[in-house]
Every structure is written in C-alpha cells, then in structure tokens.
C-alpha cells in the first residue's frame, strides 16, 4: 500500500531494509561483551547486512563511553570491549532506501542513562503523526532526558532518510525549538535521542574512518581515480569505511581525495567533557493515522 508520495514498491523496500536491520541488530548486540573486539562486531554486522540486503547504508558505528557517533574500527583495530557503554548504530539499504537504528549495550553499570535515551525515544514516537512539529518532538525528548537528571546532546539530532541519502530534512532536534517543520505523510525519519551525564555538546576527535563522496569530479592520480570509480559504483553518496578497500595504497588515495574536496571525512564525535553517552534510534514512516516503525 502506498503512503503519501511513497509508492507501494518504495514502501516495501523501506520495510525490507527495516526487517533486515532488526535481525542484524539483535544478533550484533548479543556479541557485545568483554573481550570481543570492536572489529569482530563491525565486520559481522556489515557482512550479515550484505548477505540479507543490498548493502550497508553506512559503516557499523561502535561508539564507546564518551564517543557519540562516527566511531568505526580500522582495518587492524584490535580494541576489545571492557566495562564500557557501547552504542551500536547500524544502517541497511535496499535499492538505496534506508533503515537506520541504534541501541546501547551497557557494560558499565549506567542503566539509567541508557533508559533515559530509550524512554525519550518512546515519548518522541508517541508524538509522531502528520502535522506534528519537530520542535515539539525535540522538547519531549529533552523533557524526558532531563527528568532522569541527564542532558540531551544538543548538537546532534534525528533526520530524514531518502534514497541514497542517510541524512536529509527534516531535522528532529533533541531539544525544544520554536523553529522547525510539521511532519507530512510519507516522511521517513530517524529519531535518535542522545543522553549524557556531561554538558550535552559533542566535538570532533582526531580519529577518522568513515568517508563519503561529496564532490564528484575527474581526478588525475590513477589510484585515486580507481578508488573513486569504486565509490561511485558501490556506494554512490552513502558513507563507507576506509577498511572496505583492499590494498595498502587505498588509504593514501582516500587522503588525496579528501584533500581535493572529493571525499568528506567524518571524525569521531565525542562528548566535550569526556562524559558517557547513551543513544536510542528508530526509523519510522509517517502515515495518515500516525506512523509505521520499520526498525522495531
């Protein structure tokens, strides 16, 4: 059945992406335990997504403790989980149509912080319908998290998803805002509250493993041209991981393309006080009578 401007085929692709994501998220979250490497979980999740769907909408994000987003292990990363707060953020696409979801696996003993993000997500979902104002949804997220004694991460937000684009309008803030838009039937949005026991702001770290194509143009270097051709063919505008490319010179080619403005890098985002961050996220389609949650 079509939903607003989304035809039957498009809706089914979103649903298929969500179904795969639910399966892979459950399996991957169960792997997160002390002694297991970040790379083991990331590669398992990404391989399963490729097995069950058309591909990853972005690399597996495994953000630990003060990390909030864009943390993904490198090719030779041997970091293991300890007594950590682990945010697992995965994306699936079917013909470019995206489902995006995140859960927090707490090995650190901070259950209430995780609960605040989960409850904030549930409260936000209760408000989703055509005509709902995004700023009011953000206010509900903020109220729930502050009610637990924590702070929402104010400079991160939920977002729309469209074919081959994992971050589009509308923005769903994690705080109350007068500015915003009203949701419409057929909007596909990922709502993702972040809660922290810090000040509620993230800044960029130095580590960078995730990239995407932002300015497609011809390049002269042979290795860079070969890598760019592969990005165009396999990932289009979707983010990818440097470790997905074979060969020792691929990282040099990625750096050159980033310096030329062809690729954009996504540094790890960290809570500025070094405080813990918990996250919860679902992707929903706004319908005539509310919403359809494709990831839960």
Count of Cβ atoms closer than 10 Å to residue 203 Cβ: 13
SS3 category, 36: coil
> Quick check: bond before 182 cis, omega within 30?
no
133 in a known ligand binding site: no
95 in a known ligand binding site: no
282 in a known ligand binding site: no
38 in a known ligand binding site: no
Q: What CA–CA distances, in Å, run from 133 to 12, 258, 296?
A: 27, 37, 23
Beta bridge partners of 78: none
84 in a known ligand binding site: no
Closest C-alpha to 117, from 294, 268, 276: 276
Residue 14 structure tokens: 């979103």
281 in a known ligand binding site: yes
Please give the positions annotated as active site: 89, 100, 159, 167, 192, 281
Residue 131 structure tokens: 């005509």
C-alpha to C-alpha distance for 241 and 77, rounded to whole angstroms = 13
Q: Can you say which residues are annotated as belonging to the binding site for substrate?
A: 70, 167
Q: Can you say which residues are annotated as belonging to the binding site?
A: 70, 89, 100, 159, 167, 192, 281
Q: Can you say which residues are annotated as belonging to the binding site for a divalent metal cation?
A: 89, 100, 159, 192, 281
């Amino acid at each position: 059945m079509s939903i607003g401007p989304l035809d039957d085929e498009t809706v089914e692709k979103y649903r298929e992406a969500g179904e795969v994501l639910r399966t892979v998220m459950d399996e991957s979250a169960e792997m997160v335990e002390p002694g297991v490497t970040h790379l083991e979980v990331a590669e398992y999740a990404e391989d399963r997504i490729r097995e069950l769907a058309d591909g990853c909408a972005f690399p597996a994000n495994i953000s630990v403790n003060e990390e909030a987003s864009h943390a993904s292990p490198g090719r030779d990363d041997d970091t293991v989980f300890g007594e950590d707060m682990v945010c697992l953020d995965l994306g699936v696409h079917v013909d470019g149509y995206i489902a995006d979801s995140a859960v927090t696996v707490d090995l650190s003993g901070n259950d209430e912080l995780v609960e605040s993000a989960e409850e904030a997500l549930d409260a936000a979902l209760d408000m989703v319908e055509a005509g709902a104002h995004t700023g009011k949804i953000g206010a509900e997220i903020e109220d729930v998290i502050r009610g637990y004694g924590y702070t929402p991460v104010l400079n991160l937000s939920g977002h729309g998803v469209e074919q081959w684009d994992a971050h589009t309008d509308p923005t769903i803030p994690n705080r109350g805002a007068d500015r915003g838009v009203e949701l419409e039937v057929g909007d596909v949005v990922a709502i993702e509250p972040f809660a922290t026991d810090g000040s509620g702001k993230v800044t960029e770290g130095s580590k960078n493993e995730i990239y995407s194509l932002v300015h497609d143009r011809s390049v002269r270097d042979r290795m860079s041209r070969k890598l760019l051709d592969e990005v165009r063919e396999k990932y289009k505008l979707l983010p990818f991981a440097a470790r997905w490319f074979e060969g020792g010179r691929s990282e040099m080619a990625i750096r050159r393309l980033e310096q030329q403005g062809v690729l954009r890098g996504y540094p790890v985002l960290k809570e500025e006080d070094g405080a813990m961050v918990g996250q919860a996220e679902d992707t929903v389609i706004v319908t005539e009578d509310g919403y359809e949650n494709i990831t839960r």
